[in-house]
Amino acid sequence: MIEKVREKIYEVKDFPKPGIGFKDITPVVQDAACFKYVVDEMTAWAEKKRPDLIVGIESRGFLFAAPVAHRLGLGMSIIRKKGKLPRKAVTVRAPNEYALEFFEMHEDSVCLGQRVLIIDDLIATGSSSRSAIELVQKLGGETVGFAALVELAFLKGREAILQAYPEVEILALIKYSE
């Protein structure tokens, strides 16, 4: 089934800027069997980490975080780009491959000592992932895992995450080596 999921991911050349090969995962979630498989795999992995809370990163991370949280009977908090949250928020720098951005969470999104599992769609350079972990820590949470559908292994994001946060276990269902 993992090969069927891989086949559903389209590469869009030169998006959002020249030289970037964007991995479009929308066909994965459009296919019921593929979507179910990804959510099942993430849920099984997450369950072993015994999280208290699932956190999804804007916006494609929400696609997987919400059903995983639901299946585990857990709540879900969200990480958004700066200026999108209506209440008092905590902010961290979140540079990515395209620009310098900022991530935010409501200040009451994570409780002190909560075991948090973060979910996103993709790991590239690891900068967004590290920023999300930093944000959870600023709020007093302990990140017990980071899951993504896709890892662009050639960008060495996993290594960057583990260098900054060696205690965080990482799941990527599909890896691209180039």
What is the domain partition of the chain in residue ranges?
Answer: 49-176
* 41 noted as active-site residue: no
* 115-123 and 142-152 strand pairing: parallel
SS3 state at 96: coil
C-beta of residue 157 within 8 angstroms of C-beta of residue 96: no
For residue 24, the tally of other CB atoms under 10 A from its CB is 13
Dist CA 149 CA 119 (whole Å): 9
Question: pLDDT confidence of 81, banded at 50, 70, 90?
Answer: very high
pTM score, whole prediction: 0.96
Dist CA 20 CA 12 (whole Å): 8
Whether the link from the prior residue into 59 is cis, omega within 30° of 0, is yes
From 41, 58, 60, 104, active-site residue: 60
SS3 state at 160: helix
User: Scanning the structure block, which residue is given the tokens 């292994």?
Assistant: 153
C-beta of residue 142 within 8 angstroms of C-beta of residue 114: yes
From 97, 101, 134, 142, active-site residue: 97
Dist CA 32 CA 34 (whole Å): 6
* 97 noted as active-site residue: yes
pLDDT in tens, 1-54: 999 999 999 999 998 888 888 999 999 999 999 999 999 999 999 999 999 999
For residue 82, the tally of other CB atoms under 10 A from its CB is 14
Q: Is the pLDDT of residue 98 over 70?
A: no
| Residue range 49-176, CATH number | 3.40.50.2020
74-79 average pLDDT score? 98
